[in-house]
Amino acid sequence: MAPYIYRGPLNLRVWEEKDPQSQRVIAIHQYISTYEQNRTIWMDGRPHPPEGAVHTWMGFSTGKWEGNILSVYTTHIKEGWVRRNGLPESDQATLMEHFIRHGNVMTHVSIATDPVYLTEPLIKSQDFNLVSQEGQNWLYPCSYVEELGNRKRGAVPNYLPGENPFLHEWADQYHIPLQAAMGGAETMYPEYQQKIKNMAAGTSAKK
């Protein structure tokens, strides 16, 4: 999905679509080589669709120029993952982005907000270098395959609440309390160390 895809290895192509009569910019298009994603950022002031409209991997994006910064707001993103081996992302997530160019370097800042899985906005950034692709094969088509065989069509592996045997796996591997592994944004800050100490002290007292 849009909040995730810029974090992987990719080539990014960007171009404008203009009205043939007025020459006003209607949209900015992006081709993202990983998974061959095509994204449209509408620049003509159109509103976002209603809440129940279709959700897609790239969502519905509108953009505007703020000085030399392209700011983009995206809604209607399919559910997916913040990281492939970690936190999920719901279809209620929204994305705010800033594309900032400095010569041959473009900085991309993304701010993902998800009322279901994130306790505060998640901010990430990365830089892209301008590369001349003349005579180079920069396309990287990906094709999906059946990675898990012998599964009935439509079967979705799942665990009911309270039955997930892997719930403690990550916390046990790094010897931290489960509350710290599942505690949200507050676990990133130094003050949380005291909270962990209090948890440990409470556990020792019970023993």
C-alpha neighbours within 13 Å on the C-beta side of residue 62: 8
The answer to the question of residue 158 being in a domain is no
Residue-wise pLDDT for 111-138, tens only, equals 999 999 999 999 999 999 998 766 556 6
The answer to the question of residue 106 being in a domain is yes
Residue 34: count of CB within 10 angstroms of its CB: 16
| pLDDT, position 204 | 58
3-state secondary structure of 16: strand
Residue-wise pLDDT for 69-91, tens only, equals 999 999 999 999 988 767 899 99
Please provide the distance, in angstroms rounded to a whole number, between the alpha carbons at the two ends of the chain: 46
Q: Domain boundary residue among 129, 153, 181? A: 129
Do 90 and 187 fall into the same domain?
Answer: no
Q: Looking at the predicted structure, is the pLDDT value of residue 7 above 90?
A: no
| Two tokens, residue 23 | 């020459």
Do 106 and 174 fall into the same domain?
Answer: no
What domain range is 192 assigned to?
A: 169-206
The answer to the question of residue 154 being in a domain is no
